[in-house]
Chains A and B, each alone.
Chain A
């Protein structure tokens, strides 16, 4: 069998310089900082809802935003791991938690019925604002994760793009959710979850070309 010319090995060895290996903990710290920065940005631009700490928020407010935060964390962790590839990497946590998020719109649908839900959504004056703001604030996390992936060596590009979108949409919507005083299941279950779907779709198609190597 022919062998790769040893000159290649010599060239690569000659070019060797020390590198700092990618550390998952650094990635986690960066994503955490991005999430905090997003919340600060929301506070500066819109102001956080003080009803959260004064006991005015409903249970569904905490459940919905808690789920968004958890999904964002799980999806972001999956993306961070993808930058350092290995056969045997699975992303079940992100997959199942993303599926779990569907419980919120499903609950809204079951409680209000199709007609009631459509009526509630069409009369929701702030719904579209929440949807767009959640997606827009997700760009902070999206930027961080794309830069991390570009530094890494993702080998599952479509999955990396989709989970980046899910993480960005979930963290963006979580952050903006802290400024939104509307805490009904129809509003949270639809308008605050929709950014996750939108960003997942955008990520699936827009991110692979940015992180291909």
Chain B
């Protein structure tokens, strides 16, 4: 069970004032939330690195959360930003097979979570771009394997990845 919005906002406000015990609790919740958030959109072997990166970004940029605004949309924006950066950087890793790590969504935050989810970003991409980004950047196929699997030429795969990532970058703060 991940803490609700009001609790997280209170904890973040206390953290901005320097309360280390609360900050530790906040980071534990953030870690759980991020693991769930990235679960289906990052190869399992890269999940920890990405979660770690986002947690460090949260730490560095903690002053940019405005206490008068909600916490989770702020966290989601940072998570999306780092995730797109991550997609740009990932290389193929043979063991990176996406398993089924789905777990039942377990709180009233589900609707908020769904609205901010990474899947929402993919909805805005043409199918051909979303497909090759998933195959190459998330599942770890090579360009030629993705080309064979999708029927797109290799150069088209590259172009679609490039255009798709560019479009994702422009959509980071867009909810739906």
Which residues on A are within 8 Å of B, measured CB to CB?
1-4, 8-10, 12-24, 82-90, 151-153, 155-159, 213
Residues of B within 8 A of A14 (CB): 20
Residues of A within 8 A of B104 (CB): none
Q: Identify which of B23-31, B90-98, B134-142, B147-155 touches chain A.
A: B23-31
Contact flags B6-37 to A (C-beta < 8 A → 1, else 0): 00000000011110100110011001000100
Given contacts A13-B24, A156-B170, contact A84 B66 (CB under 8 A): yes
B: number of interface residues (CB 8 Å): 46
Residues of A within 8 A of B80 (CB): 87, 155
Q: Are B52 and A9 in contact (CB under 8 A)?
A: no
Option from A4, A8, A16, A24 in Cβ contact (under 8 Å) with B66: A24
Residues of A within 8 A of B122 (CB): none
Given contacts A24-B66, A153-B61, A157-B169, contact A85 B81 (CB under 8 A): yes
Option from A13, A24, A152, A153 in Cβ contact (under 8 Å) with B23: A13
Q: Are A87 and B174 in contact (CB under 8 A)?
A: yes
Q: Are B52 and A21 in contact (CB under 8 A)?
A: no
Q: Are B18 and A1 in contact (CB under 8 A)?
A: no
Residues of B within 8 A of A13 (CB): 20, 23-24, 27
Q: Are B69 and A86 in contact (CB under 8 A)?
A: yes
Residues of B within 8 A of A10 (CB): 24
Q: Are B77 and A86 in contact (CB under 8 A)?
A: yes
Option from A2, A83, A85, A159 in Cβ contact (under 8 Å) with B170: A159
